Amino acid sequence: MACLRLCALVTANWSPMPRLTDPRALETFRAELRKDRESWPMRVTLSGGTCGEASGSVAVLKELQNQLECNDLTELVHLRVTGCQGYCQEEPLLILEPLNVLYCKVTAADVAEIVSESLLGGRRIIKQ
């Protein structure tokens, strides 16, 4: 059930990937993706696999969407939800680019500080 909720939250602007029939088509598609990715000043990736969902990524996503909207960042930040990143014990993970920051065990309560300090302020948050 959590997967359905998460999918519904992120598929509003989703479009299917084109069918790739040869290596040249793959390279063309990859170049288009890179160009699109680089057009966003900031990129936020939230891990949303089953391990992330079990650790609260749905609540993190909702709060992240809320904070981006409240701070007028929806046109500046590309928010992407992926599957498992391979660090299940550290989920949910939040990757911020171009700051090159990886936040682990993110909770919905952490999101406001991450948005204000990292996305708006350009600073990394270091906690012990």
Class of domain 33-120: alpha beta
Least confident piece of the model among 29-33, 38-42, 45-49, 65-69: 38-42
Give 67-72 contacts, CB < 8 A, sequence gap 24+: 67/111, 67/112, 67/115, 68/115, 71/115, 71/116, 71/119, 71/120
pLDDT exceeds cutoff 60 at 110: yes
Residue 7 confidence class, pLDDT cut points 50, 70, 90: very low
Greatest CA span in the chain, whole angstroms?
A: 49
Tell me the per-residue pLDDT of 44-60, one tens digit each, with 9 for 90 and over.
999 988 988 999 999 99
pTM of the model: 0.74
The domain limits of the chain are 33-120
